[in-house]
A and B are shown apart, each in its own frame.
Chain A
Amino acid sequence: MISLILRRLATAIPVLLAVITLTFFMVHSAPGGPFDEEKAVSPEVLIKLNERYNLNEPLMVQYFDYLGNVLQGDFGPSFRYPSRSVTELISIGLPITFELALYAILFALMLGIIAGVVSSLRPNTAYDYIPMTVAMAGICIPSIILGPSLTLIFGIWLNWLPVTGWGDIPGDKILPTITLGTAYAAYCARLTRGGMLEILNQDFIRTARAKGLSEFRVVVVHALRGGLTPVIAFLGPAMAGLLAGSFVVETIFGIPGLGRFYVEAAFNRDYTMILGTSIFFSCLIIAFNLLSDLVAASLNPRLRDQ
């Protein structure tokens, strides 16, 4: 297990370094300086600005300085909000994005597992077809359609739920959670169904039934433990996908999280903010993939020896 962790780290670290290098040089090769816009700045101010953002050094020196700072968790000051550092902005947005992702994954697991179990118990009947058709729809309809549609129906036409904000009015967390979580609920349902169908045919389930255990105990205690393995392996990639999905969902619902900061930075050409958040998101995604690899390996001994 330890050698597996080391081997996975050995691939993750070069990937991370490559991402940091690539994003750094991409951002620095952007046409136009960060300050040439609106009204021209005086030469003295420009010198001061370049000094503050460490742009006077040769590019390679800037790169190694930046790399050193990033390793210490310092992404430098933001171009657009000069009084704030990128690290500060990340620490404001991250808890909100994590909260949203957490609700979405809980919603996805609850709905997905229940739907998957129900459909696996009576395969090829209406109890199977109806949830699986809904799941197919959930996978096909993207959040950019689901979010505005839910807002239109429940927020504007029926006026049941608030349509923007996060934690301001009771109930304003419901629509973003559903928008972000639906596709994952659908995947969970399909994975649970697949896993359960495999387990329910096995001998130990027949034994449990033969011993006269209640159906509930057979399904929930005996079968579900094995049937959920594919869902657990899916959690890592799902977390990574949820973070990327937060760009859209936070933009739709006006949630002040990291995803919205990222999109805003992209619009404002806030180069230090884009650079910092790109690297930060990449680290998170790589970390979640690593984590899910390790969880999958600890659940399935055959993967360990690869």
Chain B
Amino acid sequence: MNTSSSSLTKKAFERLFSNKLSLFGGIYILLLITLAIITPLIAPYDYAYQDLSLGPVGPTTDHLLGTDTLGRDLLTRMLYGSRISLMVGFLATMVALVIGVLWGAIAGFLGGRVDAIMMRIVDILYGIPFIILIILLMVIFGRNLVLLFMAIGAVEWLTMSRIVRSQVMSLSQQEFVLAAEAMGVSKKDIISRHLIPNAIGPVIVYATLTVPQIMLLEAFLSFLGLGVQAPMSSWGLLIRDGAVSMEEYWWLLVFPSLAFSLTLFSLNFIGDGLRDALDPRTGPN
């Protein structure tokens, strides 16, 4: 059992890393996460430090990516911004993952009337335009990051629960599960050995694709001025600042935009690569 599953995992990794775009995406994201974690150690300045007498200057040796209109170091702000953007992306995805997997697995496993009611609730929630509600939340209760996580996470679990449910339902009908049952394998072992390892692929893929969606949502809110507030920073906020002053100071728009676009590309590439790697039915291409 163990050898076959580890070789499957190994094969999946081989396939993932043979895809150059996913490899590039993976390296970029790992680098970014590392930088975000050690930001307080490596950031050249304090995130709230302003040098008003300096004002906005382009890239120099003192300020590698230049400074903004208040004389704040752009590289520092981008590093701190990456912490917020990544944290919102990953934590909200975790919230969505936990709710979605539990909801979907319970519905799929119990089936019958419970399933019908649970999925009906998901259907109804799908109809609600959540972007409006999230904006409303931010307006009314202030720009609270914890609230932002919870609100976004609470929105994004819907699709996850549908994926998990359909996985659980179709897997429990398949011959190898029926065979395991007939051979007297316990329910617990069926779930842990057969259902979870087989259902986990699409969940991982969808979670990877959820992270950029959530980061985008946070950037969208911060761009409108309804998310993270200065002197804290996030990429959405930096892009907003950049867009305001791009006429004279192009670097304020260009660098944060590049960092954010590359992140979104990388996460999408990893997601696509994982989808191909984890699905044994797709060919080597």
Contact = CB atoms under 8 A, between A and B. Distances in A.
Given A15-B124, A144-B236, A281-B129, A26 B223 contact: no
B238 to A, nearest CB: 11
Interface residues of A, number: 45
A142 B137 contact: no
Interface residues of B, number: 38
A277 B159 CA distance: 27
Interface stretch (B106-114, B166-174, B240-248): B240-248
B137 A140 contact: no
B131 A244 contact: yes
Interface centre among B124, B140, B264 (most CB of A within 10 A): B140
Interface string A241-273: 000100110011000000000110011010000
Interface string B220-238: 1001111000000000100
Contact of A136 (B131, B223, B226, B268): B268
Given A148-B239, A263-B224, A26 B127 contact: no
A146 B149 CA distance: 25
Contacts of B226: 263, 266
B268 A148 contact: no
Q: Is the interface of B mostly helix, strand, loop or mixed?
A: helix
Given A148-B246, A248-B224, A240 B129 contact: yes
Contacts of A139: 268
A149 interface: yes
Interface string A113-124: 000000000000
Interface string B99-132: 0000000000000000000000001100111011
Among the interface residues B212, B223, B260, B265, which one has the most CB atoms of the partner chain A within 10 A? B223
Nearest to A263: B224
B163 interface: no
A289 B260 contact: no
Nearest to A268: B139
A23 interface: yes
Given A136-B268, A248-B220, A251-B224, A23 B133 contact: yes
A182 B242 CA distance: 21
B132 A289 contact: no
Contacts of B129: 19, 240, 244, 281-282, 285-286
A129 to B, nearest CB: 12
Contacts of A14: 124
B225 A12 contact: no
B132 A281 contact: yes
A15 B120 CA distance: 12
Residue among A11, A26, A142 facing the most chain B CB atoms (10 A cut-off)? A142
A189 interface: no
A30 B138 CA distance: 11
A148 B261 CA distance: 13
Contacts of A130: none
Contact of A156 (B123, B247, B264, B268): B247
A148 B216 contact: no
B135 A266 contact: yes
24 contacts: A18-B128, A23-B136, A26-B136, A29-B140, A30-B140, A30-B141, A137-B265, A139-B268, A140-B268, A141-B264, A144-B239, A144-B240, A145-B239, A145-B261, A148-B246, A156-B247, A247-B224, A248-B223, A262-B135, A263-B225, A266-B139, A274-B136, A285-B129, A286-B129
Given A19-B128, A145-B261, A267-B225, 19 more contacts: A11-B123, A15-B124, A18-B124, A19-B133, A30-B141, A140-B261, A141-B264, A142-B220, A142-B260, A148-B239, A148-B242, A156-B247, A244-B129, A263-B224, A263-B225, A266-B138, A266-B139, A278-B135, A286-B127
Lowest 10 CB-CB distances: which A-B pairs, in order? A148-B243, A15-B127, A285-B129, A30-B140, A144-B223, A145-B257, A266-B139, A140-B264, A282-B129, A278-B132
Interface of A: 11-12, 14-15, 18-19, 22-23, 26-27, 29-31, 136-137, 139-142, 144-145, 147-149, 151-152, 156, 240, 244, 247-248, 251-252, 262-263, 266-267, 269, 274, 278, 281-282, 285-286, 289
